[in-house]
């Protein structure tokens, strides 16, 4: 089996290859359509690993060693000598509308990819957890709104929520700039429908240090799992100590065990430490001493006794898979792309004005981890991940920063107003500023990534 690192690396490289090739192909395709000669189409930077010369215009197609981007090099008098008979095919000699279309094509291609990916997911069906509320902490915003255990969230401000992921995205989107309570439609455990008014004004919806839903008092409902041995894993410490399938663990180190989670809470922090169990078997109590084996989970050492529980009743209520017919799925995909784009823009604005933590910025290490996690869960989640990263790349490239597509569009807007191109001096200054801004952003992203891994 592949390690988690290998899965993350492979999933990340596949995602990068798809996203970069689609983005650069947008520039490439439109450039060709408006009559610009394309010299190089490159995936990656640095030393070429593969190169081929095409039949049209002798365009060079390259796959390079550093996969963190790509470029399309076009004929341009500002970058070298252009023969007289090809001057009309140079980028700088094309009308403003054509140059604007070429620059816009990259981000537009990423938006189209996001819509296509969401469309696939909407048709295939994506699995998730039903938005059923668990325990509601006293004094929380959820309790004040009247939430009760096993309330099922149906809609947030009129927007349907089929899963906890839908609920999370919708709640943040609806509440990010809202001061009044958000109406949330629920179905109670008795089957009645009701509307809860949830006040989110006292909770930062963009806080990365804690779970927003838990801060509001909304937890995921889980059926109680009885502390009964359902199966043993290989080399189980519990089996070696004499436990049998069907045994009910009632005590551990003198503490009462009511649920399987109670057992986990005692076992995990005691790797290598003997634990005295009281086990109920055939109506009789017996003692057993089990020493949890050390295992590494998410960088932490935990104790495991090699026991799996029986499947609890009610678990089917939590598992949902939502799919739509093709035409409806397309509408849902466009809506999801729009929702995620506006949410991303809102986040960027909050970052700029200081209302959101810079910890929200993730770099390639975190993205690789997310890629591996989504690929491990299933193809539907991986495609969903691709859609999210694709539209994030589109939005990022449209930011008005020199060297990005958005920076070029700012220059073109100035040209449209003044009637002449931005001076070379201003473009050089802008390029230097862009290098500083992008370098700082990359440094911050890597800093956050490293901090997360160290934690």
* Catalytic entry in 24, 276, 415, 424: 24
Which residues, 6+ apart, have CB-to-CB distance to 215 below 8 Å? 203, 204, 207
Q: Does residue 213 sit in the same domain as residue 250?
A: no
Tell me if 77 is assigned to some domain. Answer: no
pLDDT(109) > 80: yes
Backbone angles phi, psi at 245, to 5 degrees: -60, 130
Strands 182-187 and 152-156, sheet pairing: antiparallel
Q: Does residue 446 sit in the same domain as residue 349?
A: yes
Tell me if 21 is assigned to some domain. Answer: no
Provide mean pLDDT across the span 410-418: 91
Q: Does residue 117 sit in the same domain as residue 237?
A: no
258 is catalytic: no
Beta bridge partners of 279: 249, 286
Q: Does residue 435 sit in the same domain as residue 330?
A: yes
Token output for 350? 């909050």
Q: What is the residue-averaged pLDDT of the chain?
A: 86
CB 248 within 8 A of CB 280: yes
pLDDT at position 357: 61
pLDDT(189) > 90: no
Provide mean pLDDT across the span 180-194: 91
Q: Does residue 361 sit in the same domain as residue 331?
A: yes
Q: Does residue 352 sit in the same domain as residue 449?
A: yes
Predicted confidence band at 209 (pLDDT cuts at 50, 70, 90)?
low
Tell me if 89 is assigned to some domain. Answer: no
Q: Does residue 265 sit in the same domain as residue 362?
A: no
Provide mean pLDDT across the span 356-380: 74
pLDDT at position 210: 59
Tell me if 87 is assigned to some domain. Answer: no
pLDDT at position 275: 94
Beta bridge partners of 156: 159, 184
CA 213 to chain centre: 17
Whole-angstrom CA distances from 114 to 23, 69, 243, 406, 455 are: 11, 18, 51, 19, 32
For the chain, what is the domain count?
3
pLDDT(1) > 50: no
Provide mean pLDDT across the span 245-265: 91
Read off the pLDDT of residues 276-298 as tens digits, 9 standing for 90 and up.
Answer: 999 999 989 999 999 999 887 75
Given 291, 322, 353, the domain boundary residue is 322
CB 107 within 8 A of CB 298: no
Provide mean pLDDT across the span 41-65: 92
Tell me if 186 is assigned to some domain. Answer: yes
Residue that has been written with the tokens 């929520």 in this structure: 161
Read off the pLDDT of residues 21-31 as tens digits, 9 standing for 90 and up.
Answer: 999 999 999 99
Q: Does residue 307 sit in the same domain as residue 402?
A: no
Strands 229-232 and 307-309, sheet pairing: antiparallel
In 3D, which of 271, 282, 284 has the Cα closest to residue 245?
282
Q: Does residue 142 sit in the same domain as residue 204?
A: yes
Tell me if 197 is assigned to some domain. Answer: yes
pLDDT at position 363: 65
Q: Does residue 281 sit in the same domain as residue 267?
A: yes
Read off the pLDDT of residues 218-233 as tens digits, 9 standing for 90 and up.
Answer: 888 888 888 999 999 8
pLDDT at position 94: 94
Query: Residue 78 burial by CB count (10 A; 0-12/13-18/19+): exposed, middle or buried?
Result: exposed
Tell me if 441 is assigned to some domain. Answer: yes
Separation between Cα atoms, residue 40 and residue 71, nearest integer Å: 8
Ranges 34-43, 166-175, 293-302, most confident: 34-43
Q: Does residue 115 sit in the same domain as residue 176?
A: no
The parent domain of residue 249 ranges over: 229-311
Share of the chain above pLDDT 90, in %: 47
Separation between Cα atoms, residue 279 and residue 258, nearest integer Å: 12
pLDDT at position 190: 87
Instruction: Please tell me which residue, 367 or 406, carries the higher pLDDT value.
Output: 406
In the chain, the N- to C-terminal Cα span, in Å, equals 27
Provide mean pLDDT across the span 357-381: 75
pLDDT at position 145: 92
Predicted confidence band at 426 (pLDDT cuts at 50, 70, 90)?
confident
Beta bridge partners of 52: 61
Separation between Cα atoms, residue 419 and residue 27, nearest integer Å: 24
Q: Does residue 411 sit in the same domain as residue 351?
A: yes
Whole-angstrom CA distances from 342 to 46, 183, 347 are: 34, 21, 9
Given 299, 322, 345, the domain boundary residue is 322
pLDDT(354) > 70: no
pLDDT at position 335: 92
pTM (whole model) above 0.85: no
Provide mean pLDDT across the span 111-128: 93
Given 254, 287, 322, the domain boundary residue is 322
Share of the chain above pLDDT 70, in %: 91
CATH code for the domain in which residue 161 is found = 2.30.42.10
Q: Where are the beta strands (DSSP E) in 177-327?
A: 182-187, 193-198, 229-232, 248-252, 255-256, 275-281, 284-290, 293-297, 300-304, 307-309, 319-322
Half-sphere exposure of 411 (CA within 13 A, CB side): 25
Provide mean pLDDT across the span 102-112: 96
Provide mean pLDDT across the span 360-375: 73
Residue that has been written with the tokens 């200054």 in this structure: 429
pLDDT at position 299: 61
Tell me if 345 is assigned to some domain. Answer: yes
């Amino acid at each position: 089996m592949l390690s988690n690192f290998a899965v993350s690396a492979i999933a990340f490289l596949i995602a990068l290859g798809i996203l970069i090739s689609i983005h650069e192909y947008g520039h490439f395709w439109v450039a060709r359509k408006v009559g610009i000669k394309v010299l190089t189409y490159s995936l990656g930077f640095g030393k070429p690993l593969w190169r081929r010369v095409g039949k049209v215009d002798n365009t060079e197609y390259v796959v390079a060693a550093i996969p963190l981007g790509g470029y399309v090099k076009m004929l341009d008098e500002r970058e070298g000598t252009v023969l007289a008979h090809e001057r009309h095919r140079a980028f700088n000699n094309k009308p403003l509308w054509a140059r604007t279309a070429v620059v816009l094509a990259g981000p537009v291609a990423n938006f189209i990819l996001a819509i296509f990916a969401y469309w696939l997911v909407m048709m295939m069906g994506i699995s998730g957890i039903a938005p059923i509320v668990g325990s509601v902490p006293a004094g929380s915003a959820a309790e004040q709104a009247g939430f009760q255990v096993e309330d099922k969230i149906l809609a947030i401000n009129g927007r349907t929520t089929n899963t906890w992921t839908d609920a999370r995205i919708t709640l943040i989107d609806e509440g990010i700039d809202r001061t009044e309570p958000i109406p949330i439609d629920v179905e109670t455990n008795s089957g009645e429908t009701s509307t809860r008014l949830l006040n989110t004004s006292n909770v930062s919806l963009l806080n990365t240090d804690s779970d927003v839903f838990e801060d509001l008092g909304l937890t995921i409902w889980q059926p109680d799992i009885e502390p009964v041995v359902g199966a043993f894993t290989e080399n189980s410490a519990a089996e070696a100590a004499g436990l049998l399938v069907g045994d009910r663990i009632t005590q551990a180190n003198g503490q009462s065990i009511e649920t399987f989670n109670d057992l986990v809470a005692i076992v995990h922090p005691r790797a290598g430490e003997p634990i005295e169990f009281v086990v109920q078997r055939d109506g009789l109590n017996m003692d057993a001493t089990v020493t949890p084996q050390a295992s590494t989970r998410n960088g932490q050492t935990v104790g495991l006794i090699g026991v799996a529980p029986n499947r609890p009743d009610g678990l089917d209520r939590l598992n949902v898979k939502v799919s739509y017919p093709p035409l409806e799925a397309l509408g849902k995909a466009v809506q999801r792309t729009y929702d995620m784009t506006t949410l991303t823009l809102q986040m960027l604005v909050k970052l700029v004005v200081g209302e959101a933590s810079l910890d929200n910025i993730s770099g390639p290490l975190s993205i690789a981890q997310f890629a591996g996690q989504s690929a491990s869960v299933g193809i539907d989640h991986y495609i969903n991940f691709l859609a999210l990263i694709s539209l994030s790349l589109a939005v990022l490239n449209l930011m008005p920063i020199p060297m990005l597509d958005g920076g070029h569009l700012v220059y073109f807007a100035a040209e449209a107003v003044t009637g002449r191109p931005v001076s070379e001096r201003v473009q050089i200054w802008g390029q230097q500023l862009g290098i500083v801004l992008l370098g700082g952003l990359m440094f911050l992203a890597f800093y956050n990534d490293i901090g997360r891994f160290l934690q």
